[in-house]
Amino acid sequence: MSLVITGASVLGEKTQDLYVDDAGLLVDEPPLGAEVLDADGLVALPGLVDLHTHLREPGREDAETILTGSRAAAVGGYTAVLAMANTSPATDTAEAALRVLDLGREAGLVDVQPVGAVTKGLAGEELAELGLMARSRAKVRVFSDDGKCVHDARVMRRALEYVKAFGGVVSQHAQDPSLAGPTACCHEGEVSGRLGLPGWPGIAEEVIVARDVMLARHTGSRVHIAHVSTAGSVEVVRWAKGQGIDVTAEVTPHHLLLTTDLLEGYDPTFKVNPPLRPGEDVEALRAALTDGTIDAVATDHAPHARHDKEHAFVDAAFGMIGLETALAVVRTAVPDLAWTDVARVMSSTPARIAGLTDHGSLEVGTPAHVVLVDPSASVTVDRADSVSLSRNNPWHGRSLTSRVVHTVHAGRVTVRDGALTS
């Protein structure tokens, strides 16, 4: 079925109808007998692309499945997500990657692109089947042990050398385990001291970022820094880019808006890795996103079942959900970011980093992946409204600016007036 999207302001600029043919491609002539999607007063952006989503299937289907996570993604305006490898078992073989890809196609709401593990079982020792995953039908290009840091410099060096051969990238969860161990759960500073929570100092991130940009330079390969959370990491990335080192970086919506002091109530909803940081770091992250030092926004959507999250702060699982709210959080945190820049950091650049050539633009001839946003809406988040299986939603009760109204994936309307069509 062909489609006409009427009345939207494309990238926040001129108002123009968008035409989709019955193959789901954007075309420049109005197709005959098309379905009409009313987008009067809305802003049209290329469908959002998330470099960092945890879908929990296989292994923890009580927290999220590829289908429920795809539903949350579509509601959030996403048309592609990269599914992190820290499932059980981990995505460390071509078979595992193909299974994620195919379950994503079966769900049919967004493109689910598997991330491959860097090391077998995310154990940090032996490299996983990087080449087999890359050459498989899943065409894996992004590799990450996320949840864990590839802390051994020799392993990281080998991984960077290996992925270079096929234009891959290693996405690093930067956390030096000797500076921030598994119990570290609160930014190390005045608040962690007062609350008696084990500290996770910014330097534990920064030393790995510094090491890895040097390894990228040494190997001539490409590194991506996941969920950058400190001003110091931003400085290192800025320096590395100035040197011509092939590094990209992402920031999460929550690190753009939430700060350490939220931990005062010991609410485990706000326990996340890396931890929420002080206001100075948040300011530096916003500035770095605006000036391009940070390339992309990635959700790090990390759903957890109640029985893993509802514990004393030190025992609760790390992570918060974020797919459905990401765009509104970015609009709220960085309201001066132009729509063209929102499209850059949430769609075209993440698509380029991940090698997803079908995503990230509204050009004629490309698949129609489109999100339509009400720029002036103000919405109060209710965790009960989420389509995710999990309820660890840090935005509950908050009012956020802008709302995803419709999402179109490959010419098919997946979300209409904020609700899933299937």
Question: Active-site residue numbers?
Answer: 300
**What is the DSSP annotation of 241-289?**
HHTT--EEEEE-HHHHH-BGGGGGG--GGG--SSPPB-HHHHHHHHHHH
Going by the annotation, the residues of the binding site for Zn(2+) are 52, 54, 146, 173, 227, 300
Amino acid at 284: A
Per-residue CA distances from 256 to 221, 276, 282, 287, 330 (Å)? 28, 9, 5, 10, 7
Going by the annotation, the residues of the binding site are 52, 54-56, 86, 146, 173, 227, 273, 300, 304, 318-319
CB of 341 to Zn ion, least distance (A): 24
- Partner whose footprint covers residue 212, from Zn ion, ligand NCD, none (CB < 5 to 8 Å by kind): none
CB of 173 to ligand NCD, least distance (A): 5
- Partner whose footprint covers residue 299, from Zn ion, ligand NCD, none (CB < 5 to 8 Å by kind): none
- Partner whose footprint covers residue 249, from ligand NCD, Zn ion, none (CB < 5 to 8 Å by kind): none
Say if residues 211 and 204 touch (Cβ distance below 8 Å).
Answer: no
CB of 11 to ligand NCD, least distance (A): 30
- Partner whose footprint covers residue 319, from Zn ion, ligand NCD, none (CB < 5 to 8 Å by kind): ligand NCD
Residue with Cβ nearer ligand NCD (319 or 350): 319
Residue with Cβ nearer ligand NCD (22 or 62): 62
- Partner whose footprint covers residue 272, from Zn ion, ligand NCD, none (CB < 5 to 8 Å by kind): ligand NCD
User: Which one of 300, 324, 341, 374 is in contact with Zn ion (CB under 5 A)?
Assistant: 300
Residue with Cβ nearer Zn ion (157 or 173): 173
Say if residues 215 and 247 touch (Cβ distance below 8 Å).
Answer: no
Spell 108-124 as b/e; 16+ CB within 10 A means b.
bbbbbbbbbbbbeebeb
Residue 319: left (phi > 0), alpha (psi -120 to 50), or beta? left
Q: What count of other Cβ atoms lies within 10 Å of the Cβ of residue 321?
A: 29
**Which residues are near ligand NCD by CB under 6 A?**
54, 86, 146-147, 173, 272-273, 300, 302, 318-319
User: Which one of 57, 111, 146, 246 is in contact with Zn ion (CB under 5 A)?
Assistant: 146
CA distance 82 to 230: 24
Say if residues 69 and 53 touch (Cβ distance below 8 Å).
Answer: yes
Q: Decide if residue 173 touches Zn ion (CB under 5 A).
A: yes
Q: Decide if residue 64 touches Zn ion (CB under 5 A).
A: no
Say if residues 68 and 60 touch (Cβ distance below 8 Å).
Answer: no
SS (H, E, C) 50-95: EEEECCCCCCCCCCCCHHHHHHHHHHCCEEEEEECCCCCCCCCCHH
Going by the annotation, the residues of the binding site for substrate are 54-56, 86, 273, 304, 318-319
Residue with Cβ nearer ligand NCD (54 or 331): 54
CB of 354 to Zn ion, least distance (A): 15
* Residues in 256-275 that interact with Zn ion by CB under 5 A: none
**What is the DSSP annotation of 380-393?**
E--GGG--SS----
CB of 300 to ligand NCD, least distance (A): 5
DSSP character at residue 23: T
Residue with Cβ nearer Zn ion (3 or 83): 83
Binding site for Zn ion (CB under 5 A): 146, 173, 300
